[in-house]
Amino acid sequence: MKEPLESLIPNLKKSPTFQWADEIWLMGVWKNSPKSQSIARTMPELQRSYQTVKHPIHSEDIYGSPYSIFAYSPDPLVVREKDLTKIHHMIQDLGKKLILDFVPNHMAIDSPLIEANPDLFLIADESVSSKNAFLHPNGNEYVHGRDPYFDGWTDTIQWDFANPNVEVKHIEILKNIAKQSDGVRCDMAMLLLPNVFEKTHKRKSNYDWSRVIKSIKEEFPNFKFYAEVYWGLEEELLSLGFDASYDKSLYDAFKSQNFDFVSENLRKKYSPKKIQFLENHDEQRAKQQFGEKSKSYFALLATSECTLLFHAGQELGLNKKIPVQMIQTDEEDGDVTIKEFYSRAFATIAARKHDSFVLWPDYKEFNGNSVFIKSIQSENQTEIILWNEQTFEVSGWIPFQEKIQFQVSLTDLITGDHYPQTKSEQGIYFRLKPNQVQWFIF
């Protein structure tokens, strides 16, 4: 970022992605940790990832991890004000809601909160390896923040969830965030669950997400809590009061080409409490991971009733994953066909109304094979999404029915190709290659 958000938002509002979205999640707004910056600039393991997106690299290109938070006040690189109230109002005036990060598991190793509250952070015992602990200037040896499967993040310090006062401090932090935003994305929210914390750190946790969420919602009833969560713990966090949780299952199924799983789940009524995505900052770019199929997979996700998470740059067909520690990268050429696809897709999704409903149209496949054919209908448009789940070509007819009538030509939103239609009493003819997706509007 080269200029503060106050200057960027007026231009941001012109982008198709901004116009399409209901909520805007801004990553990296909180105060940067000088120690995290120093570690990021010198850590050998990170240098190769920097070199893939910037050449030559200058020290000022690397700013530190946005998930090693020094303090929950805005970084001066991001805004000119002492808080985010002005940014919040600017985004609300554009009809959007502002979502910010809350990183509940840890803080930066140089956060002033450590000096002020030394007992709120986890002190290492003899069972903790030296690479997962560090000596603080206050004389205590603390544990780095970590999950149970990997070594610690060396620029972080672990909150001690065995101490009930941590929950009190979190409520204080969250109430301050709630005054200047509409919700929080809670980073790695499952790490605070008692069984996960005990597995990771061999200590009993007193932390209760349901108490924390209830305390905030008593004062800010419309404030949203979104959980980044994995390992099959999504339902547990939803039961504790989260408004929605990550659901990476469809992403993983696309990646492994487990299309039986995709088909089974897309035929169910998905809940807005499930957050699906095809790209985020932790994964490879969708274009890099899925190639041309990224358009088809996004179309399939867009047919579900989930909450859809979209990553900046995805709509341009960018290939290079940007390390979160970097704030300056080389410009990358996008993919014109992907950009055109997302323009069509965003316009279609934005035209849906809250009262739109789903139908599963009748169809006849010549050999009796199953075809995924779903219709999303609202007052102004009817969408039909066709997907050949088979490993061979399929073809057949969709009979004319309410809101699915003869058109002189149909345009596939995936490719932009036009298909002239011959009027037939049988309806609309389709022929799909293996795994092909088509998306039409009537």
Q: Rounded CA gap, 317 and 285, in Å?
A: 8
55 pLDDT above the threshold of 70: yes
Burial class (CB within 10 angstroms; exposed 0-12, middle 13-18, buried 19+) of 335: middle
Q: Is 62 exposed, middle or buried (0-12, 13-18, 19+ CB in 10 A)?
A: buried
Cβ count near 165 (within 10 Å): 12
- Determine the pLDDT at residue 241: 99
pLDDT, position 259? 96
Whether the predicted model's global pTM rises above the 0.85 cut: yes
pLDDT for 1: 52
**The predicted structure's pLDDT at residue 2:** 61
Amino acid at 90: M
Q: What is the mean pLDDT of residues 185-200?
A: 98
Residue 10 in 3-state DSSP? helix
Question: Is residue 61 within 8 Å of 51, Cβ to Cβ?
Answer: no
- pLDDT tens for residues 273-303? 999 999 999 999 999 999 999 999 999 999 9
Return the percentage of the chain with pLDDT > 70, whole number. 100
Mean pLDDT to the nearest integer, 429-441? 97
- pLDDT surpassing 80 at residue 3: no
pLDDT at position 288: 98
Mean pLDDT of 27-52: 97
Structure tokens at 431: 């022929």
For residue 153, what are the CA distances in angstroms to 40, 127, 138? 11, 18, 20
User: Rg (Cα) of the chain, in Å, rounded?
Assistant: 24
Tens digits of residue pLDDT in 361-411: 999 999 999 999 999 998 889 999 999 999 999 999 999 988 899 999 999
Cα–Cα dist 388/398, whole Å: 14
Q: Is the pLDDT of residue 14 over 90?
A: no
Structure confidence at residue 80 as a pLDDT band (50, 70, 90): confident
Question: What is the structure's pLDDT at 15?
Answer: 86
Task: Determine the Cα–Cα distance for residues 193 and 197; give it in Å rounded to an integer.
Answer: 6
Alpha carbon 86 to its chain centroid, in Å, reads 24
Domains along the chain with CATH numbers: 5-350 (3.20.20.80), 357-441 (2.60.40.1180)
C-alpha–C-alpha distance, residues 153 and 144, integer Å: 6
pLDDT digits (tens, 9 = 90+) for 107-135: 999 999 999 999 999 999 999 999 999 99
Concatenated DSSP letters for 331-356?
-----HHHHHHHHHHHHHHHT--TT-
Give residue-wise pLDDT tens across range 153-188. 999 999 999 999 999 999 999 999 999 999 999 999
The predicted structure's pLDDT at residue 392:
97
Instruction: Give the confidence band of 10 by pLDDT, cuts at 50, 70, 90.
Output: confident
CA-to-CA dists, residue 123 to 128, 149, 163, 205, 221, angstroms = 10, 20, 11, 14, 36
Amino acid at 396: G
